Amino acid sequence: MSTVNVNEIKIDPSKFAFVNEADKLHDKKFEDKPIGYFKDAWIRFRKSRASVVALIIILSIVAFAFVAPLCVRSHDQAFMVPTYAKNSPRIVALKNLGLKTGFTSRDFSDRSLMKALAVGVGAEEYKGQDVSFADAMDSEYMPILEITNVTTSIGADKKETHSYTADIETYLEVGFLYKSIEQHELESILAWEQETGKKVLYPLVENNEYNMDPTDANCWYKSDAKGNPLKEKGDKVTKIKEYDESLVLADNYKRDKDGNPIYYEYTGGGSVDTAQYKIRVLYINYYEYLYGAEPNYIFGTDAQGRDLMLRLAGGIRLSLLIAVCVSVVNFIIGAFYGSTEGYYGGAVDLVMERISDILSNMPFVVVATLFQIHLAKKVGPIPSLLFAYFTTGWIGTAYRVRTQFYRFKNQEYVMAARTLGAKDKRIIWKHIFPNSLGTIITSAALTIPGVINSESMLSYLGIVKLGSSSGTSLGTLLSDAAAIWTNYPHLLFFPAITLSLLMICFNLFGNGLRDAFNPALRGVEE
């Protein structure tokens, strides 16, 4: 056997890393501090990005529900302006930046487009002076923002007709309205005009042969028997192309003997406080006079003219309040019921399970309908709806708790506690129930979207009526928009997207909780 002389072995120095003698090498130390149950669950929950994002969205929606009313201090969700009913969103900040807001796209004929344009012209004629079409196009009160399309067609009589598509601001489209006010309010308006420099009172219109509709305050110009506007010399305007820059319509204002326009007239009353006056107001300025700010509806208005953003915030609060209340109560009832039948088993479990079977076979829609018919008149729709949920809503939680108790009640630690003389109450709540807590919490979290969905369904079908001037629910908002959403899509869009987000996010959040509290995954690294 040959031997190797170690002195003859040559080692490449590049294969080694040199260490200074002063350096000390230590073995890696590992933390062995135990992690608590809930901390471990939180660590695993954070690993689910979808669940974390869902939680953030849920918290954002909840924050919106409570912060939105604080941002609109000028009114609450019961505040109603029927004149602006079903209007699209209008954001003053965007308008101040020169962007179009509060508008809708609509088709016009020659006559209807001229009438809309005349609102802007009339708003510049507050002194009864002649105002041309060109002078009014840049007016802040001009409702027609842009004519986007012109279509020409030839009829059977070979006459050329035009139709127009234009963007019109619905808040300015209202234009002028007649009002009847008392003496003190008239004085208040005049003072406000002088203070702000904005005009509220506009000249009254004569009720004569040139006024086809005396109730329409926007018909300030002379028109023929067919409603065509007249020029100063009496020529009628039938086509929009005749509405050139130099065109001036003949006004039909009431004037005194000196030719000055009349802005208000006495209609009755015997004293300063009771005297009534008829006035013609530019409504958008009248609104600002009444409420201290021009219309600013971020989500638009509903069918009654209420702020849709505040109604939506109130609907979220009510729907979440009902869902959370049902979830908590059913959590408590289900925990007690399920733990009792699961721990004692035998005849107790048999009787209690049959009761659960009977209740679970009762259709919830039928139960809710009966409660609304016979109980809502006495206690109100919300308590009767809650009673319907409490009747059967706890059964799923009780079943899960019962299953967990059957799983853990024969474990060694339970047997040891019983041997040491622990009472049933202590064994149930100190030893077995904590092991079921994750399942119960997950069940409670997943109950919330189910309640929101069923409440919305009942409200949408009209079985439960939760809408009032002071409050509403998401389902009621959807129900109110069902018949008119094609013309006013914002009424359906905002509650629908909110409901969809709540349903999706609560389910993702519940799935994250289920994985986080799953004992089988405790301590597992992904």
Query: Tens digit of pLDDT for each residue in 463-485?
Result: 888 877 677 888 889 888 888 88
pLDDT of residue 413: 79
Question: For 283-362, where are the E strands, in sequence order?
Answer: none
pTM of the model: 0.81
pLDDT of residue 496: 93
Pick from 332, 322, 329, 314: nearest CA to 452: 322
Q: Which residues contact 257 (CB under 8 A, 6 or more apart)?
A: none
pLDDT of residue 161: 77
Q: Which residues contact 159 (CB under 8 A, 6 or more apart)?
A: none
pLDDT of residue 22: 55
pLDDT of residue 493: 93
Burial of 175 (0-12, 13-18, 19+ CB in 10 A): buried
Q: Give the dihedral sign, CA 464/467/473/479.
A: positive
Low-confidence ranges of the chain (pLDDT < 70): 1-37, 73-74, 155-158, 240-245, 272, 469, 518-526
CATH number of 58-62+306-521: 1.10.3720.10
Q: Are 395 and 334 in contact (CB under 8 A)?
A: yes
DSSP state string for 134-172 = HHHHT-TT--EEEEEEEEEEE-TT--EEEEEEEEEEHHH
Helical pair 395-408 and 433-461, crossing angle rounded to 10 deg: 160
Alpha-carbon gap, residue 230 to 236, rounded angstroms: 4
Q: Give the number of residues written for the chain.
A: 526
Domain ranges in the chain?
A: 58-62+306-521, 90-291
pLDDT of residue 201: 94
CB atoms within 10 A of CB 280: 23
pLDDT of residue 5: 59
pLDDT of residue 18: 58
Looking at this protein, which amino acid is placed at residue 171?
A: Y
pLDDT of residue 520: 57
pLDDT of residue 40: 76
The residue with tokens 């530019």 is: 282
pLDDT of residue 299: 93
